């Protein structure tokens, strides 16, 4: 088992940011959650416009949410945020310097049927594996529920980094499942955030579909 007391001690510096700032629906909201909320909305806005500035914003918001989720024992989500930092660094490089199979600069494109199946397969494989890890090595009270959006987010981030349109329906699934998870934890501002994400996932899906094949 992970030494959770040591983890709590390591995050003690963030306690002032985790103190209640205001109340939403009878539940206190911290400064950390509020700032991460604003940055996350900005990140999706950049992604909708295929603007690489979304990646550094994603790095900052992911670090903040990592601290928040760890304090609420959502260890799958907290670990995911650290992975997001690495993937966002990779995605930033891909959008600025990455090339496709023809060694052309990346542009918005769509997976074929086989590619979609591979993405679905990867989520279905990762889900129980992550759930087992959370069940055996953490004190999470919702290991398999936590594991599903974690698995979907890993695949979604990889698709986003390579500018595949199908990242958006993947994020839609992640956001809907996450809303229930965060409601269970009474992180109401984050529930609202993921509800907005769900709507923006549909908007992004439609917007990127119109960009497929464009230079």
Q: Which two tokens stand for residue 10?
A: 């390591």
User: Can you give the pLDDT at residue 213?
Assistant: 66
pLDDT in tens, 75-106: 767 877 888 899 999 999 999 998 888 888 89
Q: How far apart are CA 79 and CA 102, in angstroms?
A: 35
pTM of this prediction exceeds 0.75: yes
Task: Delimit the domains of the chain by residue range.
Answer: 4-96+113-211
Which conformational region is residue 103 in: left (phi greater than 0), alpha (psi within -120 to 50 degrees), or beta? left
Which conformational region is residue 43 in: left (phi greater than 0), alpha (psi within -120 to 50 degrees), or beta? alpha
Distances, alpha carbon 210 to alpha carbons 56, 70, 115, 165, 169, in Å? 26, 38, 19, 10, 15
pLDDT in tens, 19-49: 777 776 666 778 888 888 899 899 999 999 9
Residue 6 has pLDDT above 90, yes or no: no
User: Can you give the pLDDT at residue 7?
Assistant: 63
């Amino acid at each position: 088992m992970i030494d959770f007391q040591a983890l709590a001690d390591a995050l003690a510096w963030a306690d002032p940011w985790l103190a209640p700032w205001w109340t939403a629906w009878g539940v206190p909201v911290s400064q950390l959650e509020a700032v991460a909320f604003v940055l996350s909305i900005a990140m999706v806005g950049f992604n909708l416009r295929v603007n690489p500035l979304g990646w550094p914003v994603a790095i900052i918001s992911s670090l903040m949410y990592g601290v928040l989720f760890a304090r609420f024992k959502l260890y799958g989500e907290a670990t995911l945020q650290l992975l997001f930092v690495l993937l966002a660094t990779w995605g930033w490089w891909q959008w600025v310097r990455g090339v496709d199979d023809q060694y052309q600069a990346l542009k918005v494109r769509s997976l074929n049927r086989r590619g979609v199946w591979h993405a679905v397969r990867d989520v279905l494989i990762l889900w129980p594996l992550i759930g087992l890890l959370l069940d055996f090595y953490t004190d999470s009270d919702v290991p398999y529920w936590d594991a599903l959006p974690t698995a979907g987010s890993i695949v979604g981030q990889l698709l986003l980094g390579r500018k595949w349109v199908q990242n958006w329906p993947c994020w839609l699934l992640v956001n809907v499942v996450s809303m229930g998870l965060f409601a269970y934890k009474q992180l109401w501002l984050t529930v609202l955030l993921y509800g907005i994400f769900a709507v923006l996932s549909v908007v992004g899906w439609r917007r990127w579909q119109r960009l497929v094949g464009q230079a």
